[in-house]
Amino acid sequence: MLPPTTTTDGLTALPAPGAASPWRRISTGDDTVAVAERAALGTTARLAVWPPESLGAARGAVDSVLSALDRQASRFREDSEIAWIHRGGGGRFMLSNGLAEAVSVALEAARWTGGLVDPTVGDALISLGYDRDFAAIDPERGRPAGAPVPAPGWQTVRLDGPVLTLPAGVRLDLGATAKGLGSDRAARAVMNAAGQAGGVLVSLGGDIAVAGQSPRDGWPILVADRPEDQASSLTQHVRLAGGAVATSSITCRQWRRAGQVLHHIVDPRTGLPADGPWQTVSVAAATCADANAAATAAVVAGQRAEQWLAVAGQPARLVARDGRVRCVGGWPDADGGRIKVSPASQVYRGSRPGVLR
Amino acid sequence: MNAERDPRRGQVRLPAFADSAAAERQAPEAGGPALAGRSARARRSGLRRVRRMSNWTAAALIVGTGATTAALAHHAVSVAAPAAAASSSSAGVVTTTGTQGANGPRVSHSVATTSASGVTTTTTSTSQVVNGKTVISQVRHAPAYHDN
């Protein structure tokens, strides 16, 4: 399942395929909802459900979704579907429904953002040193990163139903949308497992989708730069009754090459890490894939981020490198404010989130 | 209201009505012109009353149907909404809805944080017998994927 990273005696060992980290219960102070989390997709998956009795079924539903998404779209798994496509060196490929949906969402996100997020940044990330699971990257290396590789462009990729046409030398990275897609799928799967009763919140690395009936006044969520941040003057509490909220930030997933600090949000136009004024952007949208794409697009857009978000009509909270905070598009200024999202998705064209797994 | 309408426009008279109207013009009644005039007025008045009642009935039916439709539509939305996690609009653009829980629980503490994606690492150990010796391998890993 995973690339071997550290071994003794030169032996390599892989975790058993499909082995999932165990869930652990989280106490938040409210016993009206059940909360649990586990490691998943190189980050943390968190699940909150009500009524609390539905947690068992919810965990199973989320496990199933994450396992399928990992098999479909991880470029770090030798046995993933997308790795198989990349080994083909270009051509036409018949995709599974799940990967076809993931590629479709990535291409729609690229179209919507005018290429600010682009799934063809795979080689750009590899050249910068993000060529394996992040936990396995050597954070300090004297050797400089490779030459920047601008993205070939999402327009070079064609998807006709389940048939993908990929030019030779183009490597896909679905990172700008896949985690959001996973949250959308998982939230929907939990509601199906619960017979549409109660409500659910699913967070994959801080990209959050909610479904069903929310608690009164919405799900309480902390907005922060880093996952370990506690409530402070730099964080904000918000309430989300429907839709999704996602955050992209350059404050995590950093590494160094020859003294240069690099991070994982790449500007497709240059092939270099985005260098704009915003270090963290949180966006609320109809679906988590929308929010995920818009947050990353805003970081890449730099000075134009506020303008782009205004045109896109998405509530957003932008944190500048100097700590300045801007709230746009109806994002609440006050602590504890409710976020209202636009009901229409821009990235799920012709498909319904979570139907294709 | 009926008096302002030409009863002959756009309406098909019942044969009996046409016949009686013709009879009014052509065949004087046995009681003389005065009696005939009275009975014709009474007939016209009765007909007007019947037509007015049928119009009120039609209006009541229309109003009733509208009210029933509105009530059913309202009922359908209120029942379906909590179950709807996603639905498609007519333009094919997906809309996602969650509903604010009027009946949902009160939750006062944050249940999740939206932030940069943290990196999760775990360590697993595997043992293997190589040339008669047990070799323990440690693998530092995280379930594969990354964020962007």
**pTM (two decimals):** 0.70
Of A133, A217, A220, the CB nearest to B144: A133
Residues on chain A touching B98 (C-beta within 8 angstroms):
199, 210-214, 240-243
Residue in the structure block whose two tokens are 């068992």: A56
Contact A100, A92 (CB under 8 A): no
Interface test with B, best of A12, A43, A319, A356 (most B CBs within 10 A): A43
Would you place residue B25 in the very low, low, confident or very high pLDDT band (cuts 50, 70, 90)? very low
**Cα A9 to chain centroid, rounded:** 36
Instruction: Note whether A170 and A184 are same-domain residues.
Output: no
Beta strands in B76-141 (DSSP E): 86-88, 93-96, 112-114, 122-130, 133-141
Interface test with B, best of A1, A54, A133, A174 (most B CBs within 10 A): A133
Q: How far is B64 from chain A (nearest CA, A)?
A: 33
The share of chain B scoring above pLDDT 70, in percent, equals: 32
Q: What is the CATH number of the domain that holds A211?
A: 3.10.520.10
The DSSP result for A222-250, as a single string, is EE-SSTTPPSSTT-EEEEESSSEEEEEES
Q: How far is B123 from chain A (nearest CA, A)?
A: 10
Confirm whether A349 is domain-assigned: no
Residue in the structure block whose two tokens are 């653009």: B93
Contact A3 B97 (CB under 8 A): no
Q: Is B79 on the interface with A (CB under 8 A)?
A: no
Contact B94 A286 (CB under 8 A): yes
3-state secondary structure (DSSP) of residue A153: coil
A154 vs A131, more confident: A154
Cis ω on the peptide bond leading into residue B143 (within 30° of 0)?
A: no
Residue A63 pLDDT more than 70? yes
User: Looking at this protein, which amino acid is placed at residue B122?
Assistant: T
Cis ω on the peptide bond leading into residue A51 (within 30° of 0)?
A: yes
Of B111, B120, B148, the CB nearest to A44: B120
Is the ipTM above a cut-off of 0.90?
no
Nearest residue of B to residue A239, measured between CA atoms? B110
Q: Is A51 exposed, middle or buried (0-12, 13-18, 19+ CB in 10 A)?
A: middle
Segment (H or E) for A343: none
CA distances from A77 to A20, A43, A174, B124, B139 (A): 15, 15, 14, 17, 15
How far apart CA A318 and CA A305 sit, in angstroms, is 9
Confirm whether A6 is domain-assigned: no
Q: How far is A254 from chain B (nearest CA, A)?
A: 11
pLDDT tens for B70-107 read 666 554 433 333 333 343 333 344 555 566 666 789 99
β-pairing, A254-257 vs A140-141, is parallel
Would you place residue B115 in the very low, low, confident or very high pLDDT band (cuts 50, 70, 90)? confident
Instruction: Note whether A108 and A208 are same-domain residues.
Output: no
Instruction: Note whether A302 and A317 are same-domain residues.
Output: yes
Instruction: Note whether A239 and A167 are same-domain residues.
Output: no
In the numeric block, which tokens belong to residue B108?
Answer: 């006062």
Confirm whether A348 is domain-assigned: no
Contact A6, B139 (CB under 8 A): yes
Instruction: Note whether A135 and A69 are same-domain residues.
Output: no
- Could you tell me the residue range of the domain that residue A226 belongs to? 26-75+178-339
Q: Which of residues 83-142 of B touch A (CB under 8 A)?
A: 83, 85-89, 92-122, 124, 126, 128, 130, 135-142
pLDDT tens for A233-272 read 778 999 999 999 999 988 776 666 666 776 678 889 888 8
CA distances from A41 to A84, A86, B123 (A): 19, 20, 15
Q: Is A96 exposed, middle or buried (0-12, 13-18, 19+ CB in 10 A)?
A: middle
Give the HSE-up count for residue A127: Cα atoms under 13 Å, Cβ half-sphere: 17
The share of chain A scoring above pLDDT 70, in percent, equals: 84
Confirm whether A149 is domain-assigned: yes
Residues on chain B touching A219 (C-beta within 8 angstroms):
107, 111-112
Specify the pLDDT at position A10: 32
Instruction: Note whether A70 and A94 are same-domain residues.
Output: no
Contact B108 A133 (CB under 8 A): no
Q: How many CB atoms lie within 10 A of CB A126?
A: 16
How far apart CA B22 and CA B112 sit, in angstroms, is 87
Contact A13 B116 (CB under 8 A): no
Instruction: Note whether A260 and A135 are same-domain residues.
Output: no
Q: Where are the domains of chain B?
A: 2-86
Q: How many domains does chain A have?
A: 2
Instruction: Note whether A92 and A56 are same-domain residues.
Output: no
Helices and strands in chain B: count of H runs, count of E runs: 2, 5
Contact A256, A210 (CB under 8 A): no
Contact B101 A216 (CB under 8 A): yes
Q: Which of A141, A175, A209 is the last residue of a domain?
A: A175
Residue in the structure block whose two tokens are 């008669």: B132
A167 vs B50, more confident: A167
Q: How far is B70 from chain A (nearest CA, A)?
A: 23
Specify the pLDDT at position B22: 45
For the residues A198-223, what does the mean pLDDT come to? Answer: 95
Contact B141 A3 (CB under 8 A): yes
pLDDT tens for A262-314 read 667 888 988 888 888 998 999 999 999 999 999 999 999 989 999 889 888 89
Confirm whether A224 is domain-assigned: yes
Instruction: Note whether A155 and A47 are same-domain residues.
Output: no
Contact A87, A78 (CB under 8 A): no
Residues on chain A touching B136 (C-beta within 8 angstroms):
8
Segment (H or E) for B6: none
Of B85, B145, B147, the CB nearest to A187: B85
Helices and strands in chain A: count of H runs, count of E runs: 7, 21
Specify the pLDDT at position A179: 92
Q: How many CB atoms lie within 10 A of CB B123?
A: 10
Instruction: Note whether A268 and A167 are same-domain residues.
Output: no
Q: Is A216 exposed, middle or buried (0-12, 13-18, 19+ CB in 10 A)?
A: middle
Instruction: Note whether A198 and A56 are same-domain residues.
Output: yes
Instruction: Note whether A190 and A314 are same-domain residues.
Output: yes
Contact B112, A201 (CB under 8 A): yes
